[in-house]
Structure 1
Amino acid sequence: MTLTEFLSRFAEVTEEADGWLVPCPAHDDSRPSLRVAVGESGAVLLKCRAGCATVTVDADGRVRPGAVLLALGMSVAELTNIDTTDAPVRATSTSTPASPAAVAALAAQLDAWTAALWNGSDPATADAAFTYARDRFGLDVDDMTRVGLGVAERAVYDEEGKLIRGLPGGPRLVVPFRDRDGVPRGYQARALDPSARVRWLGAKSPSGESWAKVGFLPGESGWPEVIVTEGPGDGLTACATGYDVAVVRGAGLAVTVADEVAEMAAGRPVVVCGDADAAGDRFSRLLCAELAKRGLSARSVRPPVDGDDLTDWRARGPEVFATDFIRAVTNSQDPGGLKTRLNAWTDADLTEVASARRLKDHFEAGGSGVKYSPEAGFFILRGGVWRADKLDEVRTAAQDVAASIWVESAELTEALKEVLKAGDKEEAKELAARVGKLKSFAKAANSSKGIDAMVRELKALRGVAVDFEDFDRHHHLLAVRNGVVDLRTGRLLPHDPDLLLTRRVDLDYDPDAVCPRWEAFLREVFPYDRHAGLPDYMRRLVGYGITGETGEQCFVVHHGGGANGKSVYTDTLTEVFRELVVTTPFSTFEEKSSGGIPNDLAALKGARLVFAAEGEQGKPMAEAVLKRVTGRDSISARFMRKEFFEFRPTFLLQLATNFKPQFRGQDEGLWRRVKLVPWERYFKPEERDHKLGDKLLAEAAGILAWAVAGAVEWYRDGLGDPAAIVDATKEYRATSDALTGFLPGVLVTDPDGKVTAKVVWDSYRQWTEDEALPGKERWTRKSLFAALEERKATKKRSNIGVIFEGLRLARPSDQTAEESSAEERTPSGPLAHRESDTPTAGPSLDDVF
């Protein structure tokens, strides 16, 4: 495998001065964090900034694939044998510091941002930054001045897209990264808008150079300890308590920044404050170990609540945090010592339930999460929504966790040997027993039985187990790439895992995006006067569909012959709203001899738009199913080899067909649900644009904004069927009656009429013979009588047997009256669309109809 072939495995590749940056496959990577570099020897080196391991070492010293290689499906040998001759050799790190000119430019920019905070032209933004720094991190005016905080406005670009001033996602609170002498070496900037996609934004390194990975924040107390934090937010929180702070840009840099941290500590004791999760523990342990190698005293402090960082800790009790933190620093311990590491392995930790908790932490440490429901299995948090685990990723993660336990036991076994050489024999004996327990547990955890147990216990953990019905309950919310849209208002909100959304439109939402070609397309396919209002109606209809609401209790029949635009419409919406769309066989809604609800319906859970195209001509529809999927009652369904579950429909069903679906019933409960959209335009071959599909998809962001606008309209005003829909549906209903010709015809309605059931049945049988109806279209006696009652006839028992009131046999005079009435209803001009109605110089459309 060549390096080019290896890089082609990734959906996004960013070239940097020292290699490439790609999405890490071992965790949910919203921003690419896996560095790919080529060493001077020609070997490919991988480093995940979030801490995912490329390789692991087992107890026998053998190198095994880590989480990164396992996710890529590669062995260690395949990694080491990548041919890099097709790419230039690059240094594995950019150690060249920024030039004096770059430093001077950065200093001037930081000074300008600082001035904007205290004396700028935008007091409202400055006040927001000041308030955020005070309330979030506990900084006072002296702290902010000493650290040199600033505020950057929203980015402003010139006509060529070049940044003129400000920062993307601004306004932002700017935290300067300086060395111990106060020389600028970079910055990190926090978005003040909570919905911003990128919360912390770093300085872009000059070409061929690098800004520092560590920044120094001076405290005011003069205390001996230097606090090290993973990230500038915690750095500010620690600095507010009076300590000098060395801020590391991220937990994945623990080993590579040890020299820089040691230089900033200048021989003073160091206290590392990682987050209270697996990644934070690893950060503290590795950095302390590296600092100890450099002769420094290195201890660690862990926030008392799992999952918290220092800033979260402060938020739980701002009044007491400083006192509690100073006490914790005073009592801090060496995280790399044998005793300290063994203290993390109590008997309660050597259980299958504890392993399941580690597995849960494993997901959360990578910015992801895990949920489980018996009806659908595991779900993994990715891109702000919960994805079904189709590739057994939970079990793969369990294998990684088990491997990490084995590595820990192996490392502690080695550490024990040193204790046995120099330590107290009684103490060493007690420690040896504890290491032995851990080693036995690690062996069991790495067996198939141990993996099974870990995954089984994970299912029931608090925070993991979830009722399947809790997914996708918020109908008014639509997940998109850059957040969650409130369809009632069109407002963009930040992603929130607690919403339990499972589907996402893979587009950024921009309310100002436009789609002129799409709107022109709708005017072209509905060009006639009788189509007035249809283009606007389609916006409300699609908007209603993406809401997940079912208050309209309707479904759509898109009817028309070929070459009219139906397929362009459905194909475009399918591509734009791919994850919201389910395309199901037309047979899902056709009558089946076995009856019941088809298993196809299980796949409709959580969908917003459901399309079905081209059923079998003349086959009766499953009217009871159509009523249920367009109502508010629960539907029972199940996935293959899963438990039955119930769900309420959250979708708009749209049937696209050249032939009108056959409905046998005439009850209002069915027909009030039908919305027939007439696709009457015909596009001749020379009128069709073969690239129209691509042109419409180029406006995908605009079509999304168009649909959201339609949703806002629907919440405000409802669908508001135009005359074209009302008239087409009314005609459809009239021509769909399977008894037309028999009633009225052989029988007629008459409030004073009566006819026996025997006469009705005999007359019906004779009529079917006269009309030569095929056997499958002939109704049974029971079905016929039920249909007559549906049409408001009353069936009663009398002294002459069963009779129907409100009906009688037709007379010749009835036929004459009917013909006269029909003549009065016939307009002077044609109603049916003809090809000659089509303008000869019409606009071009795609021929994929």
Structure 2
Amino acid sequence: MAVARQLAPAWHHDATNLLTRRYWRGTWMRWEGSYWREMDDQEVRASLYTKLEHALFIHITPKGEEKICNWSPTKRKISDLMEAISAVTHLRPAVDAPEWITRDGMSRDSDTSNTHGNDSPIVACTNGLLRVADRELMPLTPGFFNLVSVPFDYDPDATAPTWEQFLKGVWPDSPESIAALQEWFGYVLSGRTDQQKIVLIVGPTRSGKGTIARILTNLVGKGNMAGPTLAGLATNFGLSPLLGKSLAVISDARLAGKDGHQVVERLLTISGEDTIDVDRKFKDPWTGKMPTRLMILSNELPNFGDASGVIARRFIVLNMQVSWLGKEDTDLTDKLAAEMPGILNWALDGLARLEKNGHITEPPGSADAVTTMQDTASPTSAFVRECCEKGPTHEVLVDELWDAWKAWAEDQAVRHGTKAMFGRNLQSVVPQVKRTRPRGDDGKQIPTYSGLGLKSYARNGESPDSTRLNHGSESLRRAETGLSPLWAQHENSPKCAGCGFPFEPVEPGQTKHPGCAAA
């Protein structure tokens, strides 16, 4: 510890006297002038060996005499010294970047410095800390604990005409998509994670997905970007490359196999600002909230297996339809790189609009794409939307709903599974549904779902897309014969001349269900 105290003055910023080296969440961090960078253990060891290779110290002999000795660094001494330095430079794990900190590693409670809540976010540039609200440029300081810094100066007069023209070519008829991308760029720069959204860009080959990803990478700095795969996220150490990264770009997204549920779980955890344990090779696990924003590029909507369909609602989908295949501008990236200060101003305008509106703009078609993804991930969700009604006044027999689900699943060519699995999936899609057992007229208990009911066309064997719902199921026969009060409302309804069950005629003089084959 005495040696650590001797070395500590070299880790202080001259102007502010704040530490430029910190030990945070089991990781060494070093201030690089405009942002904090993670240091590898071996890098710390190498610097200590170099600094102490010829160090001397005063040794007091048993006789009280002073003797000059070589400190002679060894593996054991360096390991003990690193332990002591971690105590001297400790930064509380509760600190979440970006955040202002004081010398002792506590948060600063100041209206002008707090980047959370309703206060304006701060973007670190190479020439200062830019406050987005009023575009004021403040001095760079290690007191601002940030992991992201744009690798160029802030220029308030810079513009990006080539970039804006490129985006108009990508979305010629959708200014909302351009606005959403602009807000996303600013959101990534700000270090915020409160929107809990993932951007999904879907488009054909050579439609500009890669160009957008490269420009955003240049904007945040290549050292702040990770490029994982969806399958890689499910592996034991799959999240470790994302530590300390503000952006993760998943290109050519493909998801298949048994690890799909684990991928969904990790996407939900990262985007949802939840605390997670991250395994790291040859290191203790890292615990905290990951500051990484996720952007996925794909030629088609990915299929996420999620019974609740929650993952689909995390996405902002940007659809591309224009392709430059065979007409590529090979110099476009270089042209856009020259406009980075102007693109920064463009992104800051998007961040200001996001601050004002409170949410990222949803482009036309995004909601439909999200619904499609939700239906693909959770067929139960699609069944409920198409065939059911929700509300406290609705109820339906368990067997009746099960028969309707089986017929719908057969028509949609999906597995209907078991009744227990369907009940579990139904509970995740409609949490307010309760399973009860009311007694019928004969005193027998009948399993019933309350809070959910079948739409009239579903009861009658019809569907907007299908005529295969089984209106002649055994559960309906038992209901019609008086076993349940649920069908009392149908006492005065027209009865099918073929099967005898209630139905709603759609044509004058109609006496049977459409397609009824009963004798």
TM-score (structure 2 length as normaliser) = 0.70
1:555 aligns with one of 198, 205, 209: 198
Instruction: Give the letter aligned to residue 524 of structure 1.
Output: G
Alpha-carbon distance in 2 for matches of 1:365, 1:534:
44
1:492 aligns with one of 137, 140, 152: 137
Look up the match of 1:673: 314
1:706 lines up with 2:346 in the alignment: yes
Could you say which structure has the larger radius of gyration? 1
Alpha-carbon distance in 2 for matches of 1:471, 1:749:
43
Look up the match of 2:474: none
Alpha-carbon distance in 2 for matches of 1:628, 1:732:
22
Preserved CA contact (<8 Å) 1:369 1:380? no
* SS of equivalent residue, structure 1 residue 536: helix
How many Å apart are 1:689 and its aligned residue? 0.8
How many Å apart are 1:523 and its aligned residue? 0.8
How many Å apart are 1:375 and its aligned residue? 3.5
Call closer, same or farther: CA 1:384–1:727 in 2, change over 3 Å.
closer
Alpha-carbon distance in 2 for matches of 1:503, 1:730:
30
Alpha-carbon distance in 1 for matches of 2:201, 2:252:
10
How many Å apart are 1:659 and its aligned residue? 2.1
* SS of equivalent residue, structure 2 residue 447: strand
Preserved CA contact (<8 Å) 2:312 2:374? no
Aligned counterparts, 1:22-41, within 5 A? none
1:437 aligns with one of 66, 90, 112: 66
Instruction: Give the letter aligned to residue 611 of structure 1.
Output: V
How many Å apart are 1:723 and its aligned residue? 4.7
How many Å apart are 1:524 and its aligned residue? 0.7
Look up the match of 1:847: none
Look up the match of 1:724: 364
Look up the match of 2:280: 639
Call closer, same or farther: CA 1:494–1:696 in 2, change over 3 Å.
same
1:604 aligns with one of 216, 225, 242: 242
Aligned counterparts, 1:51-200, within 5 A? none
1:396 aligns with one of 24, 40, 46: 46
Instruction: Give the letter aligned to residue 715 of structure 1.
Output: E
Alpha-carbon distance in 1 for matches of 2:382, 2:195:
33
Call closer, same or farther: CA 1:455–1:364 in 2, change over 3 Å.
same
1:458 lines up with 2:99 in the alignment: no
1:815 aligns with one of 462, 465, 469: 462
1:581 aligns with one of 225, 229, 232: 225
Q: What is the number of equivalent residue pairs in this alignment?
A: 428
1:545 lines up with 2:185 in the alignment: no
How many Å apart are 1:456 and its aligned residue? 3.0
Call closer, same or farther: CA 1:782–1:653 in 2, change over 3 Å.
farther
Preserved CA contact (<8 Å) 2:180 2:363? no
Aligned counterparts, 1:269-348, within 5 A? none
Give the percent of matched residue pairs that are identical in Structure 1 and Structure 2.
Answer: 19
Preserved CA contact (<8 Å) 1:490 1:712? no
Alpha-carbon distance in 1 for matches of 2:204, 2:287:
37
Look up the match of 1:788: 426
Alpha-carbon distance in 2 for matches of 1:379, 1:510:
29
Preserved CA contact (<8 Å) 1:532 1:722? no
Call closer, same or farther: CA 1:672–1:765 in 2, change over 3 Å.
closer
1:691 lines up with 2:370 in the alignment: no
How many Å apart are 1:404 and its aligned residue? 4.5
How many Å apart are 1:526 and its aligned residue? 0.2
Call closer, same or farther: CA 1:725–1:484 in 2, change over 3 Å.
farther
* SS of equivalent residue, structure 2 residue 437: strand
Alpha-carbon distance in 2 for matches of 1:753, 1:614:
44
1:754 aligns with one of 382, 396, 406: 396
1:662 lines up with 2:320 in the alignment: no
Look up the match of 1:613: 251
Preserved CA contact (<8 Å) 2:308 2:381? no
Alpha-carbon distance in 2 for matches of 1:373, 1:589:
26
Look up the match of 1:480: 125
Alpha-carbon distance in 1 for matches of 2:353, 2:463:
49
Preserved CA contact (<8 Å) 1:375 1:643? no
Look up the match of 1:356: 4
Preserved CA contact (<8 Å) 1:481 1:509? yes
Alpha-carbon distance in 2 for matches of 1:625, 1:779:
26
Q: Structure 2 unaligned runs (5+)?
A: 100-114, 116-120, 439-443, 468-519
How many Å apart are 1:630 and its aligned residue? 2.4
Alpha-carbon distance in 1 for matches of 2:96, 2:396:
55
Look up the match of 2:271: 630
Instruction: Give the letter aligned to residue 786 of structure 1.
Output: R
How many Å apart are 1:471 and its aligned residue? 5.5
Alpha-carbon distance in 2 for matches of 1:581, 1:374:
20
1:377 lines up with 2:27 in the alignment: yes
Alpha-carbon distance in 2 for matches of 1:782, 1:581:
43
Q: Structure 1 unaligned runs (5+)?
A: 1-352, 410-429, 593-597, 821-849
Call closer, same or farther: CA 1:536–1:458 in 2, change over 3 Å.
same
